[in-house]
A = this chain, B = another copy of it.
Amino acid sequence: MIDRMAAATHPSMEDLDLPTVMHALADPIRLGLVRLLSDGEERAWGDLDAPVANSTLSHHLKVLRSAGITRTREEGKRCFVRLRSDEFEGRFPGLLDTTLALAGEAGTGVADVRLHSAAA
């Protein structure tokens, strides 16, 4: 149907509003993903190990992408994800850094998202 080739659509930062962004950050799995990506490195989709089905993981990544938080790059058959840190910082100053600092601590209700065995 869609577009592994049409390159997953990414919103312009100007088009984003605060409620949308907050909502994207209001889920344990998505916070776990953001935490995993917090070092700024790009990660392969297939290396992401979250406690949900692949279809659900795809959904969560779409929500993060739609909220301007992550960028997805397609390379052949595989996908890579990373934070849009700099751009996001320009639109919502401080929000990502603050959230990452909080999501990094234990007991904050963030899901355990890690990398599959063969880490990069």
Give A contacts to B, CB under 8 Å.
Answer: 17-20, 22-23, 25-28, 31, 92-95, 98-99, 101-103, 107-110
- Name the one of B18, B23, B102 contacting A92, with C-beta atoms under 8 angstroms: B102
Q: What is the distance, in angstroms, from A24's C-beta to the closest C-beta of chain B?
A: 8
A94, B101: Cβ atoms under 8 Å?
yes
- Name the one of B26, B28, B94, B103 contacting A26, with C-beta atoms under 8 angstroms: B26
Contact (A19, B28) CB under 8 Å given A95-B98, A102-B93: yes
Copies of this protein in the complex: 2
Give 18 A-B contacts (CB < 8 Å), ordered by A residue: A18-B103, A18-B109, A18-B110, A19-B26, A19-B27, A19-B28, A19-B31, A19-B110, A22-B22, A22-B23, A22-B25, A22-B26, A22-B31, A22-B99, A25-B26, A92-B102, A94-B101, A95-B98
How many angstroms between the C-alpha atoms of A26 and B26 in the bound complex? 8
Residues of B near A110 (CB, < 8 A) are: 18-19
How many angstroms between the C-alpha atoms of A107 and B14 in the bound complex? 9
